[in-house]
Amino acid sequence: MKNKIVFFDIDGTLLDDQKRIPASTKLAIKELQERQVPIAIATGRAPFMFHYLLEELKINGFVSFNGQYVCYENQSIYENPLEEKFLHELVLRSKEHDHPMVFLNTETGRTTHNSHPYVQKSMDDLKLVHPEHDPEFYRGRSIYQALLYCEKGEKETLYRNMYNDFNFIRWHQYSMDVLPKRGSKAIGIGKMIAHLGYHQEDVIAFGDGLNDLEMLEFAGTGIAMGNGKKAAKQSADFVTRAVDDDGILHGLRKIGLIK
């Protein structure tokens, strides 16, 4: 199978529940590289959260912040930060309800609360540290993604109904990603393949979460992980095994990219 490019989500796809890369995944990626198949990451994470993965797996391209910042060989291809005036309105409303926020740029993250159990839990689950406190961090900077902390229910609906300039995607029991309304991994992937000279039908994408739906639908071949959300499986062309059951290796073999 020639002229293909493969995009991998991180959490629940490249990484298992313990945030480890399965040995079979490492072998599969190595074989792709030996076959000179281009590989990139497509994640909701900020770049500073996965530099170690790029180095360990020798990957030189990524779509980050769910499509808002795209980079290939250390060259920025596409940037789509949140508009500060709309973000400011959201910050004011979140303060009214005492809902923490985290602001993310390419280098770091800062939070509106000095210490909050919801933020701590989500960061613990990612094996990251609680961001430092700086409630004004979003002013005068390019913020590519924010995290809004509230549980499912009435308050979540309030935000979704009130802010037409944002897309809210739940990624954690306590947190939602805040993205530009038309932002998605699919758009970011489109920017990268246009830069590299590939076409939509050349794209193979692996994902598991709600932020992967557009990517899996956009890809010429969308592959959902066996551990993925129901909606991800419905958006994919087929479902491979779970991440900790050789899911990447099995999926790549099934489509004939590796032996």
40 contact partners, CB below 8 Å, separation of at least 6:
5, 6, 7, 8, 59, 61, 62, 63, 72, 189, 192
Cβ atoms within 10 Å, residue 4? 19
User: With left for phi above 0 and alpha for psi between -120 and 50, is residue 82 left, alpha or beta?
Assistant: beta
Sheet holding 203-207, edge to edge: 75-79, 69-72, 61-64, 39-42, 5-8, 203-207, 221-224, 238-239
d(CA 46, CA 221): 25
- Strand 238-239 vs strand 175-180: parallel, antiparallel, or unpaired? unpaired
Q: Is 17 labeled as catalytic in the residue annotation?
A: no
> In the 8-state DSSP scheme, what is residue 246?
T
Q: Which of 9, 16, 177, 212 is an active site residue?
A: 9
Query: Token digits for 154?
Result: 């009435």
46 contact partners, CB below 8 Å, separation of at least 6:
64, 65, 104, 105, 106, 109, 144, 145
Residues designated catalytic = 9
